[in-house]
Structure 1
């Protein structure tokens, strides 16, 4: 089974993992009010990236406040679902 098939078969686990990591961030440190909703957006396999030097899985969550997208959270993990990096972007 290749990585793509593995990710597709376990996408809910990847989204749950991203939600767990996101919930561990202290959002108040980013001078923004609480988000009304966190929506699972996408899962991608990165092979070549400027900032992430190893192939990995990127999980993206959209952050909503009053039904408006106000940010994105990205979690990068390896094939064993081990943490590589994360980014929180607030618009």
Structure 2
């Protein structure tokens, strides 16, 4: 009986992990620009992207190597002429 309970628990954890993997395959990927900024002591990673729900918003996210700090995110509304220029670059 203990083996059956263990098998059911193991199967449920396995299914939960696989479900997240399966669902992640069907999500849309957004093109991002990523780079590292060279600074003294820490090297933050920067990601830039345009939002999909409101394409005039351009967001920048900064991740630091310090585990005690949270990422910083700033989104700004871009001008329509910049959107046209970005579409030509694609």
Give the alignment's TM-score, normalised by structure 2: 0.39
Question: Higher strand fraction: Structure 1 or Structure 2?
Answer: 1
Question: Higher helix fraction: Structure 1 or Structure 2?
Answer: 2
Q: Which has the higher contact order (CA 8 A, sep 6+)?
A: 1
Bigger CA radius of gyration: 2
